[in-house]
Every structure is written in structure tokens, then in C-alpha cells.
């Protein structure tokens, strides 16, 4: 599915997180294997502080940095939402303004349908 919201951006980075390393690895594996993401970087577990239903929460999470194209972003988000246990997972899409030409070409090639 192509979304006009993201399709204008050639390469994008999607930020998310997972509640533990096992699920983070599963999400990364599925997104790359299904050619929705070229690469998913799993960060070091850290503490996220946020308000949820009027209460201050502190949760250990694994950050995910996902590289894809704007044309694949919506399908990736939908798949991520299917895999994620949170009611409202973090999903932020950031446009890539530039970078290594060879890396950007590699990202595009990995997620072509």
C-alpha cells in the first residue's frame, strides 16, 4: 500500500521500540525478511518515561531504527502494528535529506516490490 503522506520521501527512517530484546529481534527479522525494511538497528535497552492514562510510567525498552523508502513506509507501519503488543506503540517517520549515495541506493534495492 502506498501512502501519499510518505511517498514523496525517497528514503525514510522509522523510529519505534520494543518491550524486550526477543520481540525486537522478531520485529526486525520479519520487517527485513518481508522486504519492508532494508535494515533495522536494535539499540541498547533504556528507560522510557511517559504519561499513560494519567500515570507516570517508566518502562525498559529496546529502541528500533528502521530504514526503508517512503513508498514502503505505510505497509511497514501496518506490519509493525500487527507485531507490536502495545496499544499505542511509538512510530515516527523521519525523512532522509541525504547521505551516502551507495547506501541510499542499497536501501532502495532492498525494499523494492
The span from the CA of 81 to the CA of 89, in Å, is 7
**Cell numbers of 106, please?**
542499497
- CA angle, 111 then 70 then 88, to 5°: 100
The model's pLDDT over 17-70, given as tens digits with 9 standing for 90+, comes to 999 999 999 999 999 999 999 999 999 999 999 999 999 999 999 999 999 999
CATH of the domain at 70: 3.30.70.120
Is residue 1's pLDDT more than 50? no
The count of structural domains within the chain is 1
Quote the pLDDT of residue 4.
52
CA-to-CA distance for 26 and 37, rounded, in angstroms?
13
pTM of the complete model: 0.92
Q: How many residues are recorded in the chain?
A: 113
Structural domain containing residue 98: 4-110
Amino acid at each position: 500500500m502506498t501512502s501519499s503522506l510518505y511517498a514523496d520521501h525517497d528514503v525514510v527512517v522509522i523510529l519505534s521500540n520494543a518491550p524486550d530484546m526477543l520481540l525486537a529481534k522478531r520485529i526486525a527479522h520479519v520487517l527485513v525478511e518481508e522486504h519492508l525494511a532494508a535494515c533495522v538497528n536494535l539499540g541498547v535497552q533504556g528507560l522510557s518515561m511517559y504519561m499513560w492514562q494519567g500515570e507516570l510510567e517508566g518502562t525498559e525498552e529496546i529502541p528500533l531504527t528502521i530504514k526503508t523508502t517512503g513508498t514502503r513506509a505505510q505497509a511497514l507501519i501496518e506490519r509493525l502494528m500487527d507485531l507490536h503488543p502495545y496499544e499505542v506503540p511509538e512510530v515516527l517517520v523521519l525523512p532522509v535529506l541525504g547521505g551516502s549515495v551507495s547506501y541510499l541506493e542499497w536501501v532502495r534495492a532492498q525494499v523494492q516490490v
